[in-house]
Every structure is written in structure tokens, then in C-alpha cells.
């Protein structure tokens, strides 16, 4: 039997300290936590930076390092620094060194990097080793070279290689959410279907229980399946909360594709052991050939500047669409005549249909509306320049020629807010590997004193 303690759905999200203490008292074999996700958008992969604050990350990581020392077992983090790019891994390694030094702890650290070289990926594309998943954006060699970061998602095999170094702490770049949980139980021969299923149920921590905010859960893997036990005092796992988690952020509730194969939960049985623990059996792991890993890539697509103005005059609120359409046409014409380079102006009505856009056929405006102007251009300077041309319209543009010049409400000076570079995800593809370690780099070091 292998016990995996999962402190939280992600490092930086917080968790119940008492629940973690109960988890440590349950004598886990490993502590595994996810460090990231694509859910917050392409900026993090594009820039190789973390979504969560350094101070929050450090405080929670220090707690987990202390818990690890107490339990005397390995601590593994996957997708370090939100995106798992090499720079984000280095960021967490630096934080780890600081904590080890402050705690006076000597630790062995294994670092698994997932970053991919654009030229090498262009070559893999040429060799036919990169294949698209539905729906995939079009890619070409130059697009791969254009990415600021490309990462491959490590699976259980690569995490196992990191654990085999005997490291106290494993800091991994991009991994699948499940890999850090599944690696040890698979290495020790637990039921593969049960392992991958339990890993999927556990990847968001206590989200598969009645008290998601407690964070911490323990999953015991064995020869037939797995058992989930929430560590929060009043948290309960039920057959419903556990089976329903297969739906979460998953396009297919019965299948989950991983490096080397897929999980099939069609035949899974969920049994309540008591009022807070659930046992699951009957899940299947199906191996596939060739061994593939998923790729993620982000590239810079321009720079943005945003302006926000509020409209309270009832006549303008009623005619807001006409107002912004007129501004859009006039400002685009003016800017095209006065600047060189590509730009786009977009005006979104905040308080009407800014959330869903054209899909929202039942939008109803209130007494006040905001208008957000977004200028996207190929350079920062051009984006700002066009946004400054947009400003006089947002400030004073009249609906009709025969009226006193109106003035609208700006909450900020200056009204233009630079958003900097903007990025897009540009890969939904898999990369075939002869050996699982081919796309990854594993190093070890001693930290602290």
C-alpha cells in the first residue's frame, strides 16, 4: 500500500494547517502538490513567471518543507511556478534554497526541467514526431521558433526517475496534474487503473470532498484500487463527490489521456467505507504506443493598452452601441492615417455584454455602463499612441452634431493603462518520444547547510 498526502490543489492557494497536521500523523509515503495550471491564461507560460505571490508561495512551501522533515518522506511539486517553464522552476529552486538556509536544513534536491528548444521542436515537426490534438491551432516550424516558452508535460516515468535519485525534494517543471501523485504508487506496483484514477481525483486536493477549502486529502493506493480520506475535520468524501470530480475541467468524463496511455473509468465502482471515506475499484489503464507527451507553447502576439470610461447619461446609455460603433469607425480611420503599423481597437460595453459578447442575446443594460477600450498593436509604443488617439473620443464624443459637447467619467489619470506584452497559447499537440526522458533534463543538487 502507498499513501500519498496531497496538501492542496495548488501551492499558493492555501490550506487548512490542522488538516495538514492530521495528514502527517497518518504517516504518508510521499507528499505531492501541484504548482500550476493553464487555467489562468497564456501570460504565465509566455513570460515563464508564477501567478501566485512570491511571499505566499514561500510561506506555504516552507510549511510543506517542515511537514516533509517531520514525515521523513519525499516532497514533490509538479508544474512549479504556475507554468512549469524553466525560469519558473529556477524561481522555486531559489525559494527552496532560501528556506533551507533559513531553517538550517541540508537537503538533496532533484530538479526536472520540461522546457523545449524551439529549433529542436521545429526539427521534431519536420520528422513527423509532433501531431495535433483536436482542436489544434495551425503550426509551422517558424511558429515553434517564435514561442517564448514551450514545455512538455512530464508523466509518471519522469517523476519516478527524479524520485529514484533519492532526493528529499523534487521540483518539476511542467507535468500532468496527476503525474506527481501516480509516480510512487505505480513504481511500487499498485493497480495502474486505480492509481491514475486516484491521481485524477486527488489533483485538486479537497475539491473532490464536501469541504473544498480544507485542501488536504490522503489517498491510499493498493493492488485493486484506491481509498480517499479527507483530512479536514468536517470534510467528507462521498461516492457522489468523488465520481463527480471526473467531470471537473475534463472534456471527457470517462477517459483521461496521459503520457503512455489513458485511464478508462467506465467500469469504476464507488463505495462509501463510512460517512467520510470512499473506496474506488474497477478503473482501467490502457497503454498506448508510441509514448507521447503533450506540448504547451505560448508566443507574444502584441502589446495592449486599456482605457476605461463610464457613461451615466441615460440618452448615451440607451444608445451605447451606436456611440461605440461611431467612435470605433472614426478613431480607426484617424489612427490609420496618422500611424504606421498594425493595430486593432476594440470597445467592450461593461455592464451589457462584455462577458459573453455576441453569444449574449439577452443582455440588458442598467442605468450606468462602462466602456473598455482595448488597443492591441505590434509594439508597446504604437499601442499607447493609438490609445491616446482614442481618448478624446471616449472623453467627449457626441451622439449627434447638434448638442453641447458631452464629457464622460474617467476613474484614472492617465486613462491609458499599459498591459505590456500579450501572449497566446499556440500548441495543442503531442510529441512522440523513443525514451520518456528524451525531452526532459534531470539534475540533482544539495541545498542548505
Partner 1 sequence: MTALKDIAEKVRSKNAGPFWLTVDIFCGSEAAFSRISEGLDTAKVAQLFKADPAALKRFDIQDLYVVKFSLPRPAIQGTREDRDMHGASFAVLLSDVQID
Site residues for partner 1 per CB under 8 A: 38-43, 133-137, 240, 243-244, 247-254, 296, 301-302, 344, 346, 348, 354-360, 362, 374, 376, 422-425, 428
Place of cell 464629457: 407
Strands (E), 255-291: 255-258, 261-264, 269-272, 278-281, 284-287
32 membership: H or E segment, kind and range: strand 30-36
Q: Which residue number, 46 or 173, has a Cβ lying nearer to partner 1?
A: 46
Q: Which residue number, 27 or 250, has a Cβ lying nearer to partner 1?
A: 250
Q: Given CA atoms 40, 179, 96, 74 in this order, what sign does their dihedral have?
A: positive
| 35: β partners | none
C-alpha cell at 365: 443594460
| 302: β partners | 422
Q: Which residue number, 40 or 444, has a Cβ lying nearer to partner 1?
A: 40
- Rg of the chain, C-alpha, whole Å: 25
345 membership: H or E segment, kind and range: strand 343-350
Q: Which residue number, 4 or 153, has a Cβ lying nearer to partner 1?
A: 153
Give min distance, CB of 161 to partner 1, in A. Answer: 25
| 218: β partners | 5, 229
Cβ contacts of residue 94 below 8 Å, gap of 6+? none
Give min distance, CB of 249 to partner 1, in A. Answer: 5
Q: Which residue number, 23 or 225, has a Cβ lying nearer to partner 1?
A: 225
Give min distance, CB of 296 to partner 1, in A. Answer: 8
Give min distance, CB of 376 to partner 1, in A. Answer: 6
Q: Which residue number, 87 or 424, has a Cβ lying nearer to partner 1?
A: 424
Give min distance, CB of 35 to partner 1, in A. Answer: 17
Q: Which residue number, 68 or 200, has a Cβ lying nearer to partner 1?
A: 200
Give min distance, CB of 434 to partner 1, in A. Answer: 26
Give min distance, CB of 117 to partner 1, in A. Answer: 22
Measured CA to CA, the distance from residue 69 to residue 100 in angstroms comes to 11
Q: Which residue number, 109 or 324, has a Cβ lying nearer to partner 1?
A: 324
Q: Which residue number, 29 or 424, has a Cβ lying nearer to partner 1?
A: 424
Give min distance, CB of 348 to partner 1, in A. Answer: 7
From residue 225, how far is each of 1, 192, 425 by CA, in Å? Answer: 10, 8, 36
What HEC string does 188-244 produce?
Answer: CCCCHHHHHHHHHHHCCHHHHCCCHHHCCEEEEECCCEEEEEECCCCCCCCHHHHHH
Measured CA to CA, the distance from residue 205 to residue 33 in angstroms comes to 8
C-beta of residue 273 within 8 angstroms of C-beta of residue 239: no
C-beta of residue 119 within 8 angstroms of C-beta of residue 143: no
Give min distance, CB of 253 to partner 1, in A. Answer: 6
Amino acid at each position: 500500500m502507498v499513501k500519498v498526502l496531497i496538501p492542496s490543489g495548488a501551492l499558493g492557494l492555501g490550506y487548512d494547517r490542522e488538516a495538514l497536521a492530521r495528514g502527517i500523523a497518518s504517516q504518508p509515503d510521499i507528499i505531492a502538490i501541484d504548482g500550476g495550471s493553464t487555467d489562468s491564461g497564456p501570460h504565465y507560460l509566455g513570460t515563464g513567471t508564477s501567478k501566485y505571490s512570491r511571499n505566499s508561495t514561500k510561506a506555504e512551501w516552507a510549511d510543506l518543507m517542515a511537514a516533509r522533515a517531520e514525515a521523513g518522506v519525499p516532497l514533490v511539486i509538479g508544474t512549479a511556478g504556475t507554468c512549469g517553464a524553466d525560469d519558473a522552476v529556477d524561481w522555486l529552486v531559489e525559494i527552496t534554497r532560501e528556506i533551507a538556509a533559513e531553517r538550517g536544513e541540508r537537503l538533496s534536491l532533484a530538479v526536472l526541467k520540461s522546457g523545449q528548444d524551439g529549433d529542436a521542436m521545429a526539427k521534431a515537426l519536420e520528422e513527423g514526431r509532433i501531431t495535433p490534438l483536436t482542436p489544434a491551432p495551425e503550426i509551422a516550424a517558424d511558429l515553434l521558433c517564435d514561442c517564448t516558452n514551450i514545455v512538455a508535460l512530464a508523466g509518471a516515468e519522469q517523476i519516478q526517475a527524479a524520485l529514484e535519485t533519492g532526493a528529499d525534494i523534487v521540483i518539476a517543471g511542467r507535468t500532468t496534474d496527476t503525474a506527481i501523485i501516480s509516480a510512487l504508487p505505480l513504481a511500487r506496483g499498485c493497480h495502474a487503473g486505480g492509481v491514475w484514477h486516484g491521481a485524477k481525483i486527488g489533483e485538486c486536493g479537497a475539491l473532490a470532498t464536501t469541504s473544498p477549502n480544507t485542501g488536504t486529502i490522503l489517498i491510499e493506493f493498493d493492488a485493486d484500487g484506491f481509498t480517499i480520506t479527507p483530512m479536514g475535520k468536517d470534510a467528507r468524501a462521498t461516492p457522489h463527490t468523488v465520481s463527480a470530480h471526473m467531470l471537473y475541467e475534463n472534456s471527457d468524463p470517462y477517459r483521461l489521456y496521459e503520457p503512455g496511455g489513458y485511464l478508462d473509468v467506465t467500469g469504476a465502482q464507488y463505495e462509501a467505507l463510512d460517512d467520510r471515506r470512499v473506496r474506488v475499484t474497477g478503473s482501467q489503464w490502457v497503454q498506448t504506443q508510441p509514448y507521447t507527451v503533450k506540448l504547451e507553447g505560448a508566443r507574444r502576439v502584441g502589446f495592449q493598452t486599456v482605457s476605461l470610461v463610464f457613461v451615466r447619461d441615460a440618452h448615451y446609455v440607451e444608445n451605447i452601441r451606436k456611440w461605440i460603433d461611431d467612435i470605433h469607425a472614426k478613431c480607426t480611420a484617424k489612427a490609420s492615417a496618422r500611424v504606421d503599423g498594425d493595430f486593432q481597437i476594440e470597445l467592450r460595453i461593461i455592464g451589457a455584454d462584455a462577458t459573453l459578447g455576441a453569444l449574449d442575446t439577452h443582455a440588458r443594460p442598467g442605468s450606468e455602463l462602462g466602456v473598455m477600450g482595448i488597443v492591441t498593436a505590434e509594439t508597446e509604443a504604437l499601442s499607447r499612441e493609438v490609445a491616446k488617439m482614442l481618448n478624446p473620443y471616449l472623453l467627449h464624443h457626441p451622439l449627434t452634431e447638434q448638442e453641447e459637447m458631452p464629457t464622460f467619467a474617467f476613474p484614472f489619470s492617465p486613462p491609458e493603462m499599459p498591459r505590456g506584452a500579450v501572449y497566446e497559447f499556440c500548441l495543442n499537440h503531442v510529441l512522440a518520444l523513443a525514451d520518456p526522458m528524451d525531452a526532459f533534463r534531470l539534475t540533482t543538487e544539495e541545498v542548505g547547510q
